[in-house]
């Protein structure tokens, strides 16, 4: 295997396909690679075949390694004549394993993946495989704005890269390197591009997103952190909603809670990097919070956003985990109402301190505990979903999932999906619905149309009926309501004549 890619530039435009595994940051980075390719030479493949296949891998667990190898072999099998490039975290940590797979043409370490377009355009002579190759921090962060995500209704926005923590079970801080923050000006430019492309929800993501700003040390940017960044974004871009991706409980500060309280276009949904609720296990994991901190921050968030829905990363079977430790985590899922627990079975990672702990939990027990944690999450989700039956909500349409039955999916600001019979709603528009039941992994809704829609909408933006946090602000901006000074005593709101006539398209983008 060479360290250069033998792409034939004389055959005209060629197709490229990127298969992405793992986290939301990987999704953003894959889209960035697509966006930076020379459009005169490359076009995005519309199916699973291409002249160039890039596999953007993950290594968060042993299972992720296995799936990465599986994806590499699948790309080779489906595209026997294509050039195969392997990159991402698995390629960063195990370049030789990737290179040993017959059919792989080039291994690009994850820290250099954003340089792939430059390599293909001839701006770089080669990319060096292997860990610890010196790469400037700037080269590991997106320098240009991307247009969006072709097959998704939500846009993922990377604001941060890397991690400085070194939890005892994790190797991602080695795969991704130290924490680095994207400049605020780059972030706002990217959001402007997303909005131009019609996106109404932006997911803020990073490897350790709560540490945003800690490495910025020049001028006014030296004082920015995640809370102040979110405040600026929510105030400036009030026609879309922002969803915060995975965050460590230690980063849920009083300032961040305050921002959640003041800006309704920040979604009432948090994905916690929880892992465990046992104090002794948290210490052995080298986590930066206690079980008491965990309960406190969730309580504080729910005080300001009662409609908050939680998802969380939860680990089962960490070394030395007793039945008591396990039960503490299970109880926390119930008491904190974690509706969407993303449960991992603990996986020994070579080179991590946790792998050297003598008392490893048998794999069978780990899997049993993971099963019980998932079942507990289903119980919580069912209880949370039942509370919405009969309520009227605003949901963002994600698209059709079954054209034959006209079934589409939308999503509430608290992350719960809503399935409904579509009668013309387009992707990335807000729709008013009534929740009539539980369906699949979410809720079943019915569209509210015509005069009933307008009547409910006026009452909603006038604070006469309860709507989920985030809906009211977005709806007011969407339909152009303004407060009439002559009605200041009763605080009524008025819509322009144009907007009243747009009843059928109300709340659409």
Which range has the worst mean pLDDT, 54-63, 87-96, 396-405?
396-405
Q: Judge whether 72 and 106 are in contact, CB under 8 Å.
A: no
Q: List the beta strands (DSSP E) in 48-197.
A: 52-57, 83-88, 106-107, 155-158, 160-161, 180-181
Predicted local distance difference test score (pLDDT) of residue 90 = 96
Class level of CATH domain 392-505? mainly beta
Which pLDDT tens digit goes with each residue over 162-187? 999 999 999 999 999 999 999 999 99
Predicted local distance difference test score (pLDDT) of residue 423 = 79
CA gap 385, 444 in Å, rounded:
10
The answer to whether residue 325 scores a pLDDT higher than 80 is: yes
Gyration radius from the chain CA atoms: 24
Cα–Cα–Cα angle for 280, 285, 288, nearest 5°? Answer: 90
What is the separation of C-alpha 394 from the centre of its chain, rounded to a whole number of angstroms?
A: 21
Mean pLDDT of the chain: 85
Paired tokens of 114: 């954003």
Strands 160-161 and 180-181: antiparallel
Count of other CB atoms within 10 angstroms of residue 129: 21
CA gap 445, 459 in Å, rounded:
20
Paired tokens of 469: 């946090």
Read off the pLDDT band of 144 (50, 70, 90): confident
Pick the residue with more confidence: 479 or 307? Answer: 307
Q: Judge whether 190 and 236 are in contact, CB under 8 Å.
A: no
Pick the residue with more confidence: 119 or 490? Answer: 119
Predicted local distance difference test score (pLDDT) of residue 420 = 95
CA gap 171, 387 in Å, rounded:
40
CA gap 167, 413 in Å, rounded:
31
Which pLDDT tens digit goes with each residue over 105-141? 999 999 999 999 988 877 655 555 444 444 455 557 7
* Max mean pLDDT range (177-186, 326-335, 388-397): 326-335
The answer to whether residue 387 scores a pLDDT higher than 90 is: yes
Q: Give the DSSP per-residue string, 306-339.
A: TT-EEEEEEEE--TT--HHHHHHHHHHHHHTTEE
Read off the pLDDT band of 488 (50, 70, 90): very low
Three-state DSSP state, 48: coil
Q: CA nearest 427: which of 193, 200, 91? A: 200
Read off the pLDDT band of 484 (50, 70, 90): very low
């Amino acid at each position: 295997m060479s360290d250069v890619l033998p792409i034939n530039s004389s055959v005209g435009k060629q197709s490229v396909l990127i298969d992405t595994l793992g986290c939301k940051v990987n999704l953003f980075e894959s889209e960035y690679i697509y966006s930076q390719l020379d459009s005169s030479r490359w076009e995005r493949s519309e199916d699973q075949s291409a002249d160039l296949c890039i596999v953007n891998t993950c290594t968060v667990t042993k299972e992720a390694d296995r799936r990465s190898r599986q994806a590499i072999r699948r790309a080779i099998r489906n595209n026997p004549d294509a050039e195969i490039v392997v990159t991402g975290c698995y390629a960063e940590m195990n370049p030789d394993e990737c290179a040993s797979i017959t059919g792989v043409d080039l291994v690009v370490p994850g820290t250099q993946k954003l340089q792939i377009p430059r390599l293909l355009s001839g701006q770089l002579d080669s990319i060096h495989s292997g860990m610890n190759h010196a790469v400037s921090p700037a080269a590991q962060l997106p320098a240009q704005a991307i247009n969006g995500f072709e097959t998704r209704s939500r846009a993922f926005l990377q604001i941060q890269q890397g991690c400085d923590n070194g939890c005892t079970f994790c190797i991602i801080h080695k795969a991704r390197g130290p924490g680095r923050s994207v400049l605020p000006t780059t972030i706002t430019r990217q959001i402007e591009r997303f909005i131009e492309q019609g996106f109404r929800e932006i997911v803020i993501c990073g490897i350790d997103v709560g540490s945003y700003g800690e490495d910025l040390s020049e001028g006014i940017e030296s004082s920015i952190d995640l809370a102040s960044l979110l405040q600026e974004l929510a105030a400036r871009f009030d026609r879309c909603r922002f969803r915060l991706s995975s965050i460590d409980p230690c980063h849920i500060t009083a300032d961040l809670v305050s921002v959640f309280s003041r800006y309704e276009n920040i979604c009432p949904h948090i994905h916690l990097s929880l892992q465990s609720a046992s104090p002794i296990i948290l210490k052995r994991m080298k986590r930066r919070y206690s079980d008491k901190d965990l309960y406190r921050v969730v309580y504080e968030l729910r005080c300001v956003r009662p409609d908050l829905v939680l998802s969380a990363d939860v680990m089962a079977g960490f070394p030395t985990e007793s039945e008591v430790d396990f039960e503490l985590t299970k109880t926390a899922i119930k008491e904190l109402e974690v509706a969407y627990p993303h449960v991992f079975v603990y996986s020994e990672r070579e080179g991590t301190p946790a792998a050297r702990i003598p008392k490893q939990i048998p794999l069978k027990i780990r899997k049993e505990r993971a099963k019980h944690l998932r079942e507990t999450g289903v119980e919580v989700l069912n209880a949370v979903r039942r509370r919405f039956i009969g309520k009227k909500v605003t949901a963002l349409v994600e698209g059709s999932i079954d054209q034959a039955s006209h079934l589409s999916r939308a999503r509430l600001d608290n992350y719960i999906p809503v399935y409904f019979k579509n009668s013309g709603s387009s992707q990335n528009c807000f729709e008013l619905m009534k929740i009539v039941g539980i369906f699949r992994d979410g809720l079943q809704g019915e569209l509210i149309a015509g005069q009933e829609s307008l009547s409910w909408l006026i009452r909603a933006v006038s604070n006469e009926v309860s709507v989920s946090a985030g809906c009211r602000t977005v709806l007011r901006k969407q339909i152009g309501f303004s407060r009439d000074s002559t009605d200041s005593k009763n605080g009524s709101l008025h819509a322009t004549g144009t907007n009243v006539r747009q009843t059928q398209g109300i709340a659409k983008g």
